[in-house]
Structure 1
Amino acid sequence: MDTKTKTLTVDEVLWPDDGEADALPGTSARPSAAEPFHRVLNRAVSRRVMLRGMGATAATMALAPTLFLKAEKAQARPAFVTAGGPGSRLTFETVLPGNESDVVVPSNYEVDILLRWGDPLTPEAPEFDVSNQTGASQAQQFGFNADLVLWYPLPEWVVRRVMMLGGQLDDRASRVLGLVYPRAKDNFSQRALVIVNHEYTSGDDMFPGYDASNPTQDQVEAEIEAHGFSIVELELDNGGRWQFNRNSQFNRRSTGSTAMEITGPLRGDLLMQTAADPTGMEVFGSLNNCAGGKTPWGTILTCEENFDQYFANFPQADQAYELSKRIAAPSGESGRKWERYDSRFDLSQDPQEYHRFGYIVEIDPYNPRDKPKKRTALGRCKHEGAAASIAPDGRVAIYSGDDARFEYVYKFVTKHPYDRRNRQANLSLLDEGKLYVARFDAGDAEDDDMGTGEWLLVHDTDFPDAAALIDTRGTADALGATPMDRPEDIEVSPKTGHVFIALTNNSRRDGDPGDTRVVNGRVVSSAPDEANPRNDTYNDGNPDSNTGNQHGHIVELIEDGDDPNSLTFRWNILVKCGDPAVPAHRTSFGDIVDPVAAGVSPISDPDNLVHDDDGNLWIATDGQFFSGGPVGFGQNDGIFAVPVEGEDRGLLRQFLSGVPRAEVCGPEFSGDNRSFFCAIQHPWDGQAFTNFWPLDEESGSRVSKPSLIAVREKDGQKIGKGPA
């Protein structure tokens, strides 16, 4: 692929200082490397590394720290993959870190752009016009800032049934789908449904001449409709390329104004009732849809994350505030100022509207008439990720993170078992069950990057407590849950059932034992702990500087008895991210004793996760370009693959490099693993009208567009294979 390289200056690599509040998308979220805090807390070396030998580790720490910092200076690195091991499929050429202007993949792979912001989704939808955007047009077009990507096989008989019955999946077809979906999802399909979340909007990157202090009504309405998600049909052509089918009956948008059901224990509760909806059973829109997941019965779970930023004028002294002070909305104007044109975003008009956001939403992609449902039993927080696991007794666990600094990891276990023969019954499984929050303990030894843990009961739908559920964070506080370094996506291995948790970063994890700070409405320890072990991942030569955990890490959680119903678990840290050639990053990569010699790639800010069908973990990053100060990464976000079992456990290498200032989101495989999908979110963030991607856009468009892409191996091999 032809690429153009733009060399970036040190000034462009630095983020402004971090604030005390949660970092919101599109805002400065990384610290300056020069901010002084406390002395460095030396980390202990992993027990696993100690067992494998210290000599190579010491040699690695002595290497020059600038080895991998810039793509133009980096050298190709070998990858030593054990023949026949779980990671032996990963023979692709390592993509070097860089800041090229287009997506970069190994030489035997190709990239196709499938959908871009503004692409019409139906024959009737208008063509995109960047200078003439309205809510009505955007509601029929591919939304802004693509995030989560999920792939679903589309059997031909489902298509025929829907067409025959005028767009409705009847009970018979639903029963058959329930039987075949578990097998079909892991196999080849000529046609597929793909969901793409549209997380948030940025007026500066959407509208020419945008005035943030005074947006127009058309701009506000377009932004509202640019949220939510798209469901689209894709088809494979004769050349093995996926094509968007604009004529499909399955194509649809759910937006910031789409009617949704409130289900579960909060349905109809007094705390959910508003003047506009006195029943407390229906809400308009889902907001800030970030990561999510799939259910075993073939529905979508999409998560509302930073929903607080959309609301304004939150009262400071009433019941609604008390229930939300751990996740409070602005007390004055919102940044987007939607409240000027839509009163539901003005909480001075009805503060209980705020209770109706912050949930996991379920939607059936196979039923075009299905109404999205907010599953309140799974709690209210800044959800990211919704990974399902079936227990031996048939009950289903849903794992989810609360993506903010010092927040928690949750698990919901259904009351009733999954029934493959009754898909219709499964469609209400997530309304009853128990919600838990995780406490991570040290185990039998300190400072060894592993330990034990316990699931603490937050809520049981058999004994409903609306206030405790709306204030999920506050309830978890009282139970003594472990505050984590921004728990984002969570995935369950299809091979082992182990749970992998992406902890993206925490610039406020900067203290020594005994140090505290106020974060999100309560006092927390700012010192490292067993499961969040670093408080200084970049040191510019000053031994008294702390910068927090800038690069993040990945935790592996193993339920006792390999049972998702278990109330106890074991855990270990799979990866401490950073550049393995920079000693101050204090990295570790599974069981790899000498990461530099092994060819491990530098990585920062792990965000979204997915497993391939061999069980290898694939990681998308968010923010690594800006992490680490002037000797930080300075490289585009990307996709990385790492074996999690066998001798190559931890041999992490880069597969794809994204676009400047863009987050790479939603890694996903087709059922046969011969296609890989991901989203390029906010390309040229803040510069979308001066720098352009995709590079093949018509010059008349003159704006960068968040997009869905597909990657394939040129000879049709499974993703991960190297050249023949």
Structure 2
Amino acid sequence: MTHLDGTTPPSSAVTDGEPTAPTAPRRLLPLLRTQGGPHGNRSWATCLYRCGNACDHPEPNTSGNEHVQDVIRAAIARRTVLGGAAAGAGAMVLGGFATTSAAAAGGYDAGASPAGAVPGKQVSTDPFTPVAPNRRDALTVPAGYRLNVVAAWGDPVVPGAPAFDVYRQTPEAAAQQFGYNNDYVGVISLSTTKALLVCNHEYTNEEVMFPAGEYTAEEIRRIALMSHGMSVLAVERPTATAGHWVRSASSNVRYNRRITGETPFVVDGPAAGHDRLKTSADPTGKRVLGTLNNCAGGTTPWGTVLSGEENFNQYFGTAGAIPATHAASYRRYGISASSERGWYQTWDRFDLAKEPNEPNRFGWIVEVDPLAPDEPPVKHTMLGRFKHEGANIAIAPNKKVVAYMGDDERGDYLYRFISTDTYRSGTDAASRRHNKQLLSKGALYVARLTGDGLEDGVWDGTGQWILLCTDTVSNVPGMSVADVLIDTRLAADKMGPTRMDRPEDVEPNPVNGRVYAALTNNSNRGSSYPADEANPVTRSMVRSAPGAELTAASGNRNGYVLEMQPVGGHTGGTFVWRLLLVCGDPAAPETYFAGYPKDKVSPISCPDNVAFDSRGNLWVSTDGNVIGSNDGIFRVPVDGPHRGKVESFLTTPIGAEACGPLITHGDRTVWVAVQHPGEGGTFAEPIGLWPHTHRYPRPGVAVVWKA
């Protein structure tokens, strides 16, 4: 078999009869409770390599911050005293959650195309037959759609890269090839037929990547380090076909670039140069080697890509003693002497006893300019340090840049940044230089959500953005600006925000102006995390396989999608919120789909990333499905008569999660990153072989379009 190069093997396309895995892989407001283990449908490999088995470790957030349920109890008590007046006031607040004229114009049923849309077949408006839950070893899309794998692990990125050979891999070769476990997908258009694909490489699955006995532990660690990071890859449309994209051989390959675990980064913002960022190798505290565990991200209006460093804690360990001066910070970020990866045995910088400040140099939002391949990428300290899923930008009417972010851990928080300086439109060099500095100065906030009580029959309420610091002044008692930015979790704990169920991707909708957050799950909701109006489910219904009986499991296993309406725009201090989706099987009593009939929606579990098309429809990718199917990507209108109509657009191969998604080029192309296909197996005994080009699975990025 050979690598894919602009064509799709029959086994990779989707419709009925696609390949299966080579072996079997291992109405409103119910507050439900039962028993169950923490890992749900995730394989042991996902839990180990993605987050370092976070569910098996003590929860980092021990702040004891108030849950929304406490506020709800107080509100209910007030209503008992005040009668209908309080309820009426709550209804007035929610009246602000209105559909804007832009949303009405761009709604699911709108007849006219919004500005920028391209006539023709569009995934934003065209009907499709939803993909049924399945356990295929294929990327499965609706009938009438085609797909192509654009790039996969080991494909050449840098011109002159050596041919990939899984039996003779080296760190030097890995640093020139497409990395492992592609996550975020960004596409920077160069013309109507040419673009740059920018992709994260989050983590490595050593048991799937390496044949047993071919490599030493030292060699595996060195190759794995170079397989992390990001790729910038020139792509083009080879024909007039609307959605067909392939790797490019044009002069644009001059932009091709691999960013690895050893690529030099510049540190900027108020914490740059602080003593807590200094190491033996970098006494300036302003230069870091590499980026690790890059999860989601965002593409900025000025044409750069933001990437979030997420579960960085798992790369550090020591055989020595952890310095007492760092112990509290380490605990809050889940850093311990134990490390399954053992990187501290190869590099001193990952040894906590030898270089205790090195972990402080990870957990940031990084910015990469795909159009400047010789320019070092930047780590922005002003956006805070935590387990970033990503960062996504809105431009406020006053031209301030607003970034929304989530901290992906049980019980952690939602964040917002507002720039000091203002955005300049235009693509000239001076405007781009100015805009690339906008994330260096500003104000960082954390969110507190307040429920209005359950009597109105919906999960909703109001919210407040609590200031943590500006680039010059801290608002957190006893902490300097640098302390707030380096230990953002500890700073936020002091300010009383709302503990959420794994807030991952948080993105503003460019059509209706609302902000949507994927809250993936929390198996401990209802035990160590009491239920509240923003996080209500304490018992989820799950399936072991498609068609299997629904059974009860403890906690919030299927997750939510949170919808927030800013009050006074993106720079205002408050917002109104509601749960758009309470995910799961539509047959389960706890599920909710914005009021849309439950017998007309697709099952959806564990929302991870969100995106939008030009009509403002929400697209959701999932990770960790516990209702008997592979993960997938779903289209959800958020306005009009079909609001809440969840439809499964594609499902991933066995063992994989769906990353992205990204809707581009006039709503005619859907990009998806297929991460960790075959996870749960080994190189010798794989449970899946997608994309069916070799005798082992390969993570890759694909495009889907209507034939």
Q: TM-score range by the shorter chain?
A: 0.7 to 0.9
**Inter-CA distance 205–4: structure 2 relative to 1 (3 Å threshold):** same
How far did residue 322 of structure 1 move?
Answer: 2.7
What are the superposed Cα offsets for residues 239-285 of structure 1, whole Å, 9 maximum, x if unpaired? 52211025610110101110000110111111111111001010000
**Inter-CA distance 28–634: structure 2 relative to 1 (3 Å threshold):** farther
Q: Is the 8 A contact 2:309 2:365 kept in 1?
A: yes
Hey, what's the Cα distance between the residues in 1 that align with 2:562 and 2:695? 42
**What's the secondary structure of 1:137's corresponding residue?**
helix
**What's the secondary structure of 2:681's corresponding residue?**
coil
The correspondence for 1:450, drawn from 448, 454, 460, is 460
**Inter-CA distance 225–318: structure 2 relative to 1 (3 Å threshold):** same
**What's the secondary structure of 1:406's corresponding residue?**
coil
How far did residue 469 of structure 1 move?
Answer: 1.7
Corresponding residue number in structure 2 for 1:91: 127
Paired amino acid for 2:563: E
How far did residue 104 of structure 1 move?
Answer: 1.0
The reply on whether 1:304 has 2:297 as its aligned counterpart is no
Corresponding residue number in structure 2 for 1:479: 495
Corresponding residue number in structure 2 for 1:590: 594
What are the superposed Cα offsets for residues 677-724 of structure 1, whole Å, 9 maximum, x if unpaired? 1111110102253347665644xx42110001010111xxxxxxxxxx
How far did residue 304 of structure 1 move?
Answer: 0.1
How far did residue 320 of structure 1 move?
Answer: 2.5
Q: Mean alpha-carbon deviation: is it higher for 234-243 or for 351-360? A: 234-243
Corresponding residue number in structure 1 for 2:559: 552
What are the superposed Cα offsets for residues 501-525 of structure 1, whole Å, 9 maximum, x if unpaired? 00000001123xxxxx3xxxxxxxx
Percent of residue pairs bearing the same amino acid type: 40
CA RMSD, 1 decimal: 3.0
How far did residue 453 of structure 1 move?
Answer: 0.5
Hey, what's the Cα distance between the residues in 2 that align with 1:29 and 1:239? 47
The correspondence for 1:462, drawn from 448, 468, 472, is 472
Corresponding residue number in structure 2 for 1:605: 606
Hey, what's the Cα distance between the residues in 1 that align with 2:629 and 2:328? 42
**What's the secondary structure of 2:494's corresponding residue?**
helix
The correspondence for 1:113, drawn from 138, 141, 149, is 149
Corresponding residue number in structure 1 for 2:103: none
Q: Mean alpha-carbon deviation: is it higher for 424-433 or for 455-464? A: 455-464
Q: Is the 8 A contact 2:610 2:618 kept in 1?
A: yes
**What's the secondary structure of 1:415's corresponding residue?**
strand
Q: Mean alpha-carbon deviation: is it higher for 432-441 or for 242-251? A: 242-251
Hey, what's the Cα distance between the residues in 1 that align with 2:19 and 2:36? 22
What are the superposed Cα offsets for residues 154-195 of structure 1, whole Å, 9 maximum, x if unpaired? 14xxxxxxxxxxxxxxxxxxxxxxxxxxxxxxxxx2101111
**What's the secondary structure of 1:266's corresponding residue?**
coil
Hey, what's the Cα distance between the residues in 1 that align with 2:453 and 2:390? 30
**Inter-CA distance 296–239: structure 2 relative to 1 (3 Å threshold):** closer
**What's the secondary structure of 2:358's corresponding residue?**
helix
Hey, what's the Cα distance between the residues in 2 that align with 1:437 and 1:676? 32
What are the superposed Cα offsets for residues 345-394 of structure 1, whole Å, 9 maximum, x if unpaired? 11110101111000000111111112110000000000012111111111
**What's the secondary structure of 1:278's corresponding residue?**
coil
**Inter-CA distance 405–236: structure 2 relative to 1 (3 Å threshold):** same
Normalised TM-score (structure 2): 0.80
How far did residue 103 of structure 1 move?
Answer: 1.0
Hey, what's the Cα distance between the residues in 1 that align with 2:682 and 2:663? 29
What are the superposed Cα offsets for residues 48-89 of structure 1, whole Å, 9 maximum, x if unpaired? xxx9xxxxxxxxxxxxxxxxxxxxxxxxxxxxx867599981
**What's the secondary structure of 2:697's corresponding residue?**
coil
Q: Mean alpha-carbon deviation: is it higher for 399-408 or for 117-126? A: 117-126
What are the superposed Cα offsets for residues 649-696 of structure 1, whole Å, 9 maximum, x if unpaired? 001110101101111101012232211111111101022533476656
How far did residue 330 of structure 1 move?
Answer: 2.0
Hey, what's the Cα distance between the residues in 2 that align with 1:544 and 1:198? 35
**Inter-CA distance 398–94: structure 2 relative to 1 (3 Å threshold):** same
The reply on whether 1:226 has 2:227 as its aligned counterpart is yes
The correspondence for 1:535, drawn from 535, 538, 545, is 538
Q: Is the 8 A contact 2:124 2:615 kept in 1?
A: no
Corresponding residue number in structure 2 for 1:235: 236
What are the superposed Cα offsets for residues 199-242 of structure 1, whole Å, 9 maximum, x if unpaired? 0011101101169xx95222111100000110111010125221
Hey, what's the Cα distance between the residues in 2 that align with 1:29 and 1:105? 33
Hey, what's the Cα distance between the residues in 2 that align with 1:544 and 1:365? 47
**Inter-CA distance 471–530: structure 2 relative to 1 (3 Å threshold):** same
Corresponding residue number in structure 1 for 2:265: 260
Hey, what's the Cα distance between the residues in 2 that align with 1:442 and 1:277? 47
**What's the secondary structure of 1:249's corresponding residue?**
helix
Q: Which runs of 5+ in 2 are unaligned?
A: 1-13, 27-34, 57-68, 74-86, 92-107, 114-122, 474-479
**What's the secondary structure of 1:490's corresponding residue?**
strand
**Inter-CA distance 136–615: structure 2 relative to 1 (3 Å threshold):** same
How far did residue 438 of structure 1 move?
Answer: 0.3
The reply on whether 1:343 has 2:331 as its aligned counterpart is no
Normalised TM-score (structure 1): 0.79
Hey, what's the Cα distance between the residues in 2 that align with 1:673 and 1:543? 36
Hey, what's the Cα distance between the residues in 2 that align with 1:619 and 1:325? 32
Paired amino acid for 1:600: V
Q: Is the 8 A contact 2:231 2:259 kept in 1?
A: yes
The correspondence for 2:433, drawn from 401, 405, 424, is 424
Hey, what's the Cα distance between the residues in 2 that align with 1:143 and 1:683? 14
Q: Is the 8 A contact 2:323 2:353 kept in 1?
A: no
Q: Is the 8 A contact 1:490 1:501 kept in 2?
A: yes
Corresponding residue number in structure 2 for 1:705: 698
**What's the secondary structure of 1:384's corresponding residue?**
coil
**What's the secondary structure of 2:366's corresponding residue?**
strand
Hey, what's the Cα distance between the residues in 2 that align with 1:545 and 1:564? 39
Paired amino acid for 1:430: L
Corresponding residue number in structure 1 for 2:571: 565
**What's the secondary structure of 1:482's corresponding residue?**
coil
Corresponding residue number in structure 2 for 1:434: 443
The reply on whether 1:202 has 2:205 as its aligned counterpart is yes
Corresponding residue number in structure 1 for 2:165: 129
Hey, what's the Cα distance between the residues in 1 that align with 2:235 and 2:682? 28
Paired amino acid for 1:573: L
The reply on whether 1:505 has 2:506 as its aligned counterpart is no
**Inter-CA distance 295–683: structure 2 relative to 1 (3 Å threshold):** same
Q: Is the 8 A contact 1:18 1:28 kept in 2?
A: no
Written as runs of structure 1 = structure 2, the 5 A alignment for 1:364-383 is: 364-383=369-388
**Equivalent pairs, count:** 604
**What's the secondary structure of 2:349's corresponding residue?**
helix
How far did residue 612 of structure 1 move?
Answer: 0.5
Q: Is the 8 A contact 1:539 1:547 kept in 2?
A: no
**Inter-CA distance 370–406: structure 2 relative to 1 (3 Å threshold):** same
Hey, what's the Cα distance between the residues in 2 that align with 1:245 and 1:299? 20
Paired amino acid for 2:697: S
Hey, what's the Cα distance between the residues in 2 that align with 1:683 and 1:574? 30
Q: Is the 8 A contact 2:208 2:686 kept in 1?
A: no
Q: Is the 8 A contact 1:692 1:703 kept in 2?
A: no
**What's the secondary structure of 1:438's corresponding residue?**
strand
Hey, what's the Cα distance between the residues in 1 that align with 2:303 and 2:161? 28
The reply on whether 1:4 has 2:18 as its aligned counterpart is yes
**Inter-CA distance 694–686: structure 2 relative to 1 (3 Å threshold):** closer
The reply on whether 1:616 has 2:617 as its aligned counterpart is yes
The correspondence for 2:334, drawn from 313, 325, 328, is 328
How far did residue 415 of structure 1 move?
Answer: 0.7
Hey, what's the Cα distance between the residues in 2 that align with 1:23 and 1:481? 27
**Inter-CA distance 492–696: structure 2 relative to 1 (3 Å threshold):** closer
**Inter-CA distance 236–573: structure 2 relative to 1 (3 Å threshold):** same
Paired amino acid for 2:337: S
The reply on whether 1:275 has 2:286 as its aligned counterpart is no
Hey, what's the Cα distance between the residues in 1 that align with 2:330 and 2:173? 34
Corresponding residue number in structure 2 for 1:642: 636
Paired amino acid for 1:310: Y
Hey, what's the Cα distance between the residues in 2 that align with 1:288 and 1:696? 23
Hey, what's the Cα distance between the residues in 1 that align with 2:591 and 2:436? 43
Written as runs of structure 1 = structure 2, the 5 A alignment for 1:106-185 is: 106-155=142-191
